[in-house]
Structure 1
Amino acid sequence: MTIRRIVPNIQSDALEENAAFYGLLGLEKVMDHGWIMTLASPSAPTAQVSVMTGDKTAPVTPDMSIEVEDVDAAYAAMRDGGAEIVHPLQDEEWGVRRFFVRDPDGRVVNVLGHR
């Protein structure tokens, strides 16, 4: 399975304050949907952190996001492996196909692929 990037997700109501803080380290805003904002390194664009107030369509806020090449294959592997699916596989209006799964320590992982 090909992993494209792994992004930590920070839950916060202070999106702009976080943008300013991480901006001091050189991260720049590359996505902002109002409820989630992603900051990335200009020199290494897959080095990212996301800050979100809460997830728009899911019942929980994920702790991290893992972008994979084939999200359907990742979903099948997790389901067949007995992992707890927290949010079903679905297409989102902002251009991703994703699902949430709980890891052995209880963290929620958003597994996604861009359409």
Structure 2
Amino acid sequence: MSIKRIVPDITSERMDDSRKFYADFLGLDLAMDMGWILTFVSPGNPTAQITLMQPSASAVPNPNISIEVEDVDAVHVKAVALGLPIVYPLTNEPWGVRRFFVADPNGVVINVVTHLK
């Protein structure tokens, strides 16, 4: 499995305060702003990232970590074969990613994702 990056995901009910903290205090650049989700990157190392998202309004839990992989379909097949708990199905999202959520043995929800080309 080829892992491209690992990004912590923080659920925030204080998006404006969080934006100021990560941009103004830590000096991270805002790379993506979809309103409900913000991704910040280090100006000197674009793979050093952190994502903030509003609490989920659906039954789907927010992930705790995102792991970008080369081939999400292959990773999904492996997760199913190992009997791991899939908590969000393999889905092509309208914002250009293909992903699924899997829970680790500690209940940590991991967003396994590939960017669609």
Kindly provide the amino acid, as one letter, of the partner of residue 17 in structure 1. Answer: D
- Structure 2 unaligned runs (5+)? none
Structural RMSD (CA): 1.4
Match of 2:109 in 1: 108
Deviation larger for 10-19 or 87-96: 10-19
Q: Distance in 1 between matches of 2:94 and 2:30?
A: 20
Match of 1:85 in 2: 86
Number of aligned residue pairs: 115
Match of 1:61 in 2: 62
Percent sequence identity is 50
Where 1:73 maps in the other structure, the secondary structure is helix
The answer (yes or no) to whether the contact 1:89–1:97 under 8 Å persists in 2 is: yes
Instruction: Normalising by structure 1, report the TM-score.
Output: 0.94
Instruction: Normalising by structure 2, report the TM-score.
Output: 0.93
Residue 41 in 1 paired to residue 34 in 2?
no
Deviation larger for 48-57 or 62-71: 48-57
| 1:7-40 deviation line (CA, Å, top 9, x unaligned) | 1111012222112111211211100111110001
- Structure 1 unaligned runs (5+)? none
The answer (yes or no) to whether the contact 1:19–1:28 under 8 Å persists in 2 is: no
| 1:38-59 deviation line (CA, Å, top 9, x unaligned) | 0010110010000000347761
Q: How does 1:14-29 map to 2 (within 5 A)?
A: 14-23=14-23, 24-29=25-30
How far did 1:75 drift?
A: 0.4
Deviation larger for 54-63 or 17-26: 54-63
Q: Distance in 1 between matches of 2:12 and 2:28?
A: 17
